[in-house]
Structure 1
Amino acid sequence: MRNFLQAFLFFCIWFVLAFFIHKNVTHASTSSQNNLVNNNHDKTDNTTKLETKKPVLDSIASNETYTKVNLSKVDTALYIMPFTEKFVTSKNNKRVIFPRKFFYFKDSIFNYLNNNPTKEIVIEGQYTTNESLPDGENFGNKRAKYLKELLVRYGANSSRIKTTNKLSEYEYDPNGYYADGITIYQKNLSNINKEALEKDITNKTLYSYFGDNNFKPDRSLQTYTQEVKNYLKLHTNKHITIIGHTDNVGDEEANKWIGLERAKNVANYFISQGIEASKITTISKGETTPITNNNTKQERAKNRRIEIQIN
C-alpha cells in the first residue's frame, strides 16, 4: 500500500510539472507566431505602400494651376504641364531619354486627353544652333516628333498632339546631356481642330485583333471609345454603325460571319463602357469591299479592319 501511495504521489507531481511546461511552451510558440504574423503584416503593408506609391502628374485638374506662356509658332494661351521629372536630351541626338521613375509620362498624357475632350497637347523640343539640319529640320522638332510617336503607339489620338520647336542656346553637361530640353503644354482645341476631330470620330477605321477568342481592347480602342462617349453626350440623336471587313482567305460566307463577329466584339466593348446598345448597329461586308489587293500579307492585314460610322 505504501509503495502504491508513493507511486501515485510521484505520478501527480510529474503530471503537474508536465502541464506547466506544456503551457509555457505553447504560450511562447503562440507569441512567436503572433509576432511573426504581425511582422509579416507590417512588411506587407510597407511593401504595398511602396508598390502603390507612384508619381502622378501634378495639378492636372484646371488651367489656373498651370504656368501660362505665349509662343509665336502656335496659338496663345498655352499652359505648361507640370511633370515632377524632366525630359533629358542628348547632344547631337534626336531621341529623348526618360529617368527610370518617369515611367508614368505616357499614362499621364493618355489619361489626360481621354478625360479632357476639349484639350490638345503641344510638345516643344529645344535645339541649339549647331543642331539645325540641311533639310530645314532641326533636332528640337525631331525630338518632339519622337515623343509624339511614342504617345501615338501607346494609344493616344495623333490629331490631338501637336509638335513645335524652339531655338535655345543652352549648354549640355560634361556627359553630353541636358535635362530641360522638352516642354509639354496643354491648350484648348481650336474650332478648326474640333471640326477635324469630329470628322475623325464619326468616320473611323480601326485595326486590331478583333477576331481573337480572348478579345481585349487595345489603348487605341479605349481612346476612341471615350471620344465616342463624349461625342454622343453632345449629339444625343446620333447612331453608330460598326462594319466588319476581312481579307479574301477562306470561304466568302465564312468571312462574312467572321466580319460580323469582329464588329460585335467592338459593339460589346462599347456597351460595357456605357454606350447604349440601342444606338449601335453591327453589320459585315466580309471580303467584298477591300481597300487594297490581297496579294501580300501586308495588304491582307489592311483589309482586315473595322469601320465605324456615326450619323
Structure 2
Amino acid sequence: MSKRLLYLLGILLTAIIGAYLNWMFCCPPGGKATTKVPAVAPVVKPVTPSPTSYGLAFNDNSKFNYAVNDNFNFEGADFSILKPVSAKVDEGVLKLKDYLEANPSKVIDITGLFKSTEKNTSAYPNLGLARANAVKNYLVSKGISSKQINTFGKLDDSMIPNGTIYQGPVEFGFESMDLSDEGTKKAAEELEALHKEIMAHPLELHFATNSSNIRLTPEQRQEMADIAKYLDKVNDGKVLVVGHTDNTGDAAANMKLGLDRANTIKNYLVRNQILANKIESLSKGQNEPITTNATAEGRAKNRRVIVTLK
C-alpha cells in the first residue's frame, strides 16, 4: 500500500473518531442535544448578631479586683435598673464599699453606655449619664458615699440588645483624689464655682395654662446634670423647687396650682435619680410675677417653676 493511501486512511480514521467522540459527549442517546442548566447559587441566610453582654468588672490595678458575668441591665431607651439585681453584683458592690472605705482617696467612675438609636427619656444630656446616675444611687443605697463616685455617659453603637434589654451597659474605672491641702482647696473652689453657676442660672420651666407638661432644652438638661453633680458632693445640699402661676383665676386656686406644678417637677427629679430627701417644693402662686399679666406673652412667662439650690 502506497504512502499516499496510508496518509488518506489516517485522515479518514481521525475524522471518524472525532465525530464519534463528539456524538458521545455532546448528544445523549436518541440524538437530542442537552441544554446546560446553570448552577443555582446556594441560599445564604442572614446572620443574626448575638446580643452583647458586658459583665461587671471592678479593677484598680490589681489592688482591688472583682469580676462576674452579671451586671446592671436596662430596657432600651430607659434608665431604670431592671430588678432584681444579681446576688453576685450585690456581692461585688459590698466588696467595693469595703475597698472605698479603706481607701478614702479612691473614686469610682461609672460610665453609662447608650446607642444613638435610643430615645433619651431622661432629664440628662444623654441616656448613658442617666444610667450611670441610676447605678450611682444604687451604690449609695448600699452605703457607698456619693463623694467617691463620678458619673459619665458614653455613646456605644456596637451594643446589641437581647430583645429589648441591654445587658450590662455600664463600665467602671478608678481614679484618685488629691487629699493634700492644695488638692482639697482646689476641689472646694471648683465646687463653689459650680454652686455660683447654678444659682446664677436656675433651671426655669414653663407651662401652658392648667398644664404640668415638662419639656427640657439641651441647655436645661445640662443644668439638671450640674445640679445632680453638686448634690453628690455636698452632704447637706438641697434642691428648692418653687411653683409660680399667672393671675388667671383666684389666688387660692393658683397657690394650689403652683404647688401642684412644683410637686410635678419634684417627682420628675426623683424619677431622674435626685433623692427625694434632697428636694423641697413650695408655691408662690400668683404673688411673684416676673412680668406683666396683662398680655398672653407675659402670663406665659409667669407660669413657671424655678429649680435651684437652697
TM-score range for the pair, normalised by the shorter chain length = 0.3 to 0.5
TM normalised by structure 2 equals: 0.38
TM normalised by structure 1 equals: 0.37
Q: Which of the two has greater helix per residue? A: 1
